[in-house]
Amino acid sequence: MQNRQSKIHAIINPVSGVGSKRKIPRMIEAMAAAGQLSLKISFTERAGHAGELTRRAVEEGAEYILAVGGDGTVNEVAAAMIHSEAILGIIPKGSGNGLARELHIPMDARRAVEVIAKGNVRVIDACKANDRIFFTTCGVGFDAAVSHKFAGEKRRGSLAYVKHTIGEYLNYRPEVYELFIENRSIREKAFLVACANASQYGNNAYIAPHANIQDGKMDITILSPFTPLDIPSLAFQLFTKQIDKNSKIKVIQATQLRIHRRKQGMMHLDGEPVMSGKRIDLSVIPKALKVFTPETVSLTQEVRQFFNQVSDFFFISTKNFRSPSTGSSPRSQSPRDPSFPDSGGE
């Protein structure tokens, strides 16, 4: 960050995702003091409040806006900053942390604050789905159905997500979609259609391994219906950046896309479920947002992340099948404290 009196506004969702956030305000205050920055900290109180606070911060001339929370909080803050001069800082405290992981922002809060303090900036694309903004993925079909179930879950984390994924699979029926991609149309019976600006959903689940958040394109991943025998290979490939090699997967790049389906239903935007109609229009917004990111990502870190993904996959799968009723620890909420008012969502 520039060493001058600039305005920084931190927006904290006190109940998002997992883990305590009680020390984060002090970390941000220390960074602001070291950089001689004028600091304001706000806490969200309800769904949609992060977006309201961000729009006000932009209007008041904030140069740096920090989002502290999960994917929902980051989406609200970032969507309100599109094509502004303000720069987004992410301190990930959610259960999936899709955008933060995509940009290699550390999951540790102190290290995420250090990334912001160093001041390296990338400009990334955003996307629209029926005028709703997303930054990582938008999906219809099975992933939207799982997101809808997961949104009502009081317990967060990978085990809860696996539980809902398995439960939803047992009852889910693939749908027929018609995709209009530039000058052609495709009709597919699909388990899901994922429109990816970034490579992953979150939790290092890579639905579009080659998607690039700076290339001005979406990677459209179409997953055909499959049998229970296909699940182990699909799941393993999802967490090891190889799902595009599966015979059930088709990937198409596009800057614009229209999806038609037979009836209205759920779609998800960055993991947050919303109801939508039969028609969904999607497009890329190039160079939409400035974000603080690490300058480099070491090969050692990439290798360590790969092995962590593989080990996590086997641990989660084994534990879930041994103890199907077991969930993750409850969503962490700070004890009643005036500095951490109640809020909702991620």
Task: Provide the residue ranges of all domains of the chain, joining segments of one domain with +.
Answer: 7-127+290-309, 132-288
Q: Is the pLDDT of residue 161 over 70?
A: no
For residue 142, is pLDDT > 80?
yes
Residue 248 identity (one-letter amino acid): K
Q: Average per-residue pLDDT in the chain?
A: 85
C-alpha pair distances (Å), 138 with each of 126, 146, 178, 199: 11, 13, 16, 12
Helices 109-118 and 24-34 pack at an angle, to 10 degrees, of 20
d(CA 101, CA 85): 23
- The percent of residues above 70 in pLDDT, for the chain, comes to 77
298-306 contact pairs (CB < 8 A, 24+): 301/104, 305/204, 306/240, 306/241
CATH architecture of the domain with residue range 7-127+290-309: 3-Layer(aba) Sandwich (3.40)
CATH number 1.10.530.10 given to 132-288: no
pLDDT digit string, tens, across residues 261-295: 999 999 999 989 999 999 999 999 999 999 999 99
What are the angstrom distances between the C-alpha of 179 and each of 166, 170, 192, 278, 328?
27, 26, 12, 12, 37
246 neighbors 285 (Cβ within 8 angstroms): no
pLDDT score of 233 more than 60: yes
Q: How far apart are CA 179 and CA 258, in angstroms?
A: 6
CA–CA gap between residue 281 and residue 260 (Å, rounded) = 9
Yes or no: say if 313 and 235 are a contact pair by the CB < 8 Å rule.
yes
pLDDT at residue 165, as a whole number: 64
Separation in Å, CA 151 to CA 26, 145, 330: 30, 10, 14
Q: Give the H or E element holding residue 142.
A: helix 142-151
Tell me the HSE value of 186 on the side-chain side, using a 13 A CA sphere: 17
The pair phi, psi for residue 35, each rounded to 5°, is -95, 5
* Residue 4 pLDDT exceeds 80: no
* Farthest CA pair distance, the chain: 60
Q: Can you say how many angstroms the Cα of residue 64 is from the centroid of all Cα atoms in its chain?
A: 20
Per-residue pLDDT for 307 more than 90? Answer: no
198, 213 Cβ separation under 8 angstroms: yes
Asked whether residue 40 carries a pLDDT value surpassing 70, the answer given is: yes
285 or 316, which is more confident? 285
Helix H or strand E encompassing 112: helix 109-118
Mean pLDDT, residues 229-254 taken together: 94
CA distance 335 to 328: 19
**pLDDT class of 10 with cuts at 50, 70, 90:** very high
Q: What is the pLDDT of residues 54-69, one digit of tens each?
A: 999 999 999 999 999 9
C-alpha–C-alpha distance, residues 39 and 37, integer Å? 6
The pLDDT of residue 166 is 62
Tokens of 94: 């959610």
> What Cα–Cα distance (Å) separates residue 4 from each residue in 38, 145, 343?
9, 47, 33
Q: What pLDDT is recorded for position 6?
A: 87
